[in-house]
Chains A and B, each alone.
Chain A
Amino acid sequence: MSREERVYADPSMNMENEEYWKATKQGKLILKKCDDCGETHFFPRIICPHCQSSNTSWYEASGKGRIYSYSVVRRAPIPYAIAYVTLDEGVSMLTNLVDCDFDDLAVDKEVEVTFRDTEGGEKLPMFRPV
């Protein structure tokens, strides 16, 4: 299961999402929810994409979800699995699947969040099978 992993580039950040990256650094996955319409959205932003309210607030996600879809890039110098994971909170996010046998992956498989260091010391949320 231990496999060489890619060097992960630092994510670009701005005022709308720096809280998210502060949280991942502490091993937490947080999401943005709209206080007016109640919808969670992803990627996080100041203005709700569903009702355009600017009353949006952060909350901690369960970190649980299922694989919506994935693809193993076998011909890359270091093979990796890219995926969309649908979180229990209802939104899907682009991510990588790690700590897994690529041949055992399947759509709808249950996964949980884990974190990987980037080259500049940030942390990226990724997912592994439960």
Chain B
Amino acid sequence: MTRSCKAYIAGVYEHPTRKATDKTLTQLHAEVAIGALKDAGLTMKDVDGYFCDSTVPGLGGLVMAEYLGLDLSYIDTTETGGSSYLVHVGHAMRAIAEGKCNVALITLAGRPRAEGLTSLPARDTGNDAPERGFELSYGPAVTNLYAMAAMRHMYEFGTTSEQLAWIKVAASHHAQHNEHAMLRDVVTVEDVVNSPLIADPLHRLDCCVISDGGGALVVVSPEIAKTLGDRNVKILGQGEAVKHLNGGKIDLTYTGAVKSGPSAFSEANLKPSDMDYASIYDSFTITVLETIEDLGFCEKGQGGKFVSDGNLISGVGKLPFNTDGGGLCNNHPSNRGGMTKVIEAVRQLRGEAHPAVQVPNCELALAHGTGGQISQRHGSATLILGRNDA
């Protein structure tokens, strides 16, 4: 089967650092950019489109464009938290299709650990933010906000802590093979549910790691892809959405993936059961569980059953996920997990994942990012990717 596509991911790079005490933020952005361009077989001179979020210092992407010496005909600094990079890939694909650029560079970097961050308060959106007075004084933190989604999901659907724990167990099975992963010990369901409660009902092992680092992607036109060999990955579909509190009519049991997923699948003319592999943003175990339901891998409310008994473990279950160990075990650069989700999906489609977790004959894959808080306002973005010959 040869599917047509409007653009390819030609290069990816994940920074190996997990604590960047000796590097500046712009240096990290530059190192991942250089790494991804080298991976693609391109140079900084080839880049005519640049995409970044607010992890770049200064006004939009201007500082980074100057630091890298870029000559740009296209710039996009869309900020949707950890889902930004999957939004950027879609925007880059469309900009390329319209002839506005040919080689799009997307970067993410951050050093929260070097800056001494040990836990995550909710983002302070500033004095002008209209919701601020109605939220900050009550002590929202990233953990308790996701915990409230988990608590409600448990109430409505009978989801259990043991079911959520299976998500961490699967991630740990994969992380044991990743030399860069922060947590490489294989854990059991008992280990997860017996770890300390951080914010009921989430335990310490339901939470992702905090790490420094970053990553970059290079998206190119089909004409350029043709000149670069056979490691390019097809962008078959992309969808994005924003979900918020809707004037107080809230439902915390689902995410924006209910819109971004169908939009991406429809553009790719594919369905969830076609996917050989999925990278799913895993800030917390509940993030994965709700997203799997919302993307249509199982019915709403059945996510607990779906993720149990190793169903997400490569070589064991039906939906191998986050084979690098994900945010739960590997890394979570700048508290934003979308970039590494795309990178591991690309590794799988190139056959370049660790042999112990490589999905045999991996032809079609999904990557999903979530940004912000699923219990407040968040961005969702879904990518459907295909192997070069898919």
Contacts and interface: CB of A to CB of B under 8 A. Distances in A.
Contacts of A13: 133
A11 B137 contact: yes
Contacts of B137: 8-11, 118, 124
Interface string B141-163: 10111011101100100000000
Contacts, number: 118
B1 interface: no
A100 interface: no
Given A82-B148, A84-B252, A94 B140 contact: yes
A59 interface: no
Interface in A68-125: 68-76, 80, 82-84, 86, 90-96, 107-108, 118, 124
Assign chain A's interface to a size class: 35 or more
Nearest to B141: A73
Interface majority SS on A: helix, strand, loop or mixed? loop
B139 interface: yes
Contacts of A107: 151-152, 155
Contact of A17 (B133, B148, B201, B248): B133
A55 to B, nearest CB: 15
B285 to A, nearest CB: 14
A22 interface: no
A124 B137 CA distance: 8
Given A9-B137, A12-B132, A21-B133, A39 B151 contact: no
14 contacts: A39-B247, A43-B248, A49-B247, A69-B152, A70-B200, A71-B200, A73-B139, A74-B197, A80-B139, A82-B138, A91-B249, A96-B139, A124-B137, A124-B138
Interface of A: 6, 8-14, 16-17, 21, 39-43, 45, 48-50, 68-76, 80, 82-84, 86, 90-96, 107-108, 118, 124
Given A42-B134, A42-B248, A96-B138, 15 more contacts: A8-B137, A12-B127, A17-B134, A40-B248, A43-B134, A48-B247, A50-B247, A68-B152, A69-B375, A71-B201, A74-B197, A80-B139, A82-B145, A92-B248, A95-B138
